[in-house]
Amino acid sequence: MVWMKKSAGKSTGLHTYTKQDMKHVGWCLKNSISIAVSPDWRGVASDWLIEIKIRNNVHVDPVKYKKNEVMKKMYKYYKYYYDKHNKQ
């Protein structure tokens, strides 16, 4: 048996998404817009970054978020792009 030290990972915590959130995410993914949350490995251990990829262009939100707010912001971005391209 091999004993290994348990690695410490980073977690954004739990965020309950809604059907509307999934509608926005699904539309964005079908239209080559994806948004990812990643740890800020260079900064403070509790900071998170948001990367927005539209087709082949990647943009990083300059704001650093805490774990309890980063997922909410990610879904707000999905809603923003959904609303921007689906004006009625």
Average pLDDT of 13-20?
A: 87
The rounded distance, in Å, linking the Cα atoms of 67 and 75 is 14
What's the domain count of the chain?
1
- Within a domain: 2: no
pLDDT, tens digit (0-9, with 9 covering 90-100), for 24-82: 999 999 999 999 999 988 888 789 999 999 999 999 999 999 988 999 999 999 999 99
The structure's pTM equals: 0.84
- Within a domain: 44: yes
69 within 8 A of 16, measured Cβ to Cβ: no
- Within a domain: 56: yes
In which band, very low, low, confident or very high, does the pLDDT at 16 lie, cut at 50, 70 and 90?
Answer: confident
The rounded distance, in Å, linking the Cα atoms of 34 and 38 is 13
Whole-number pLDDT of residue 88 = 60
Expressed as residue numbers, the domain containing 63 is: 19-85
- Within a domain: 13: no
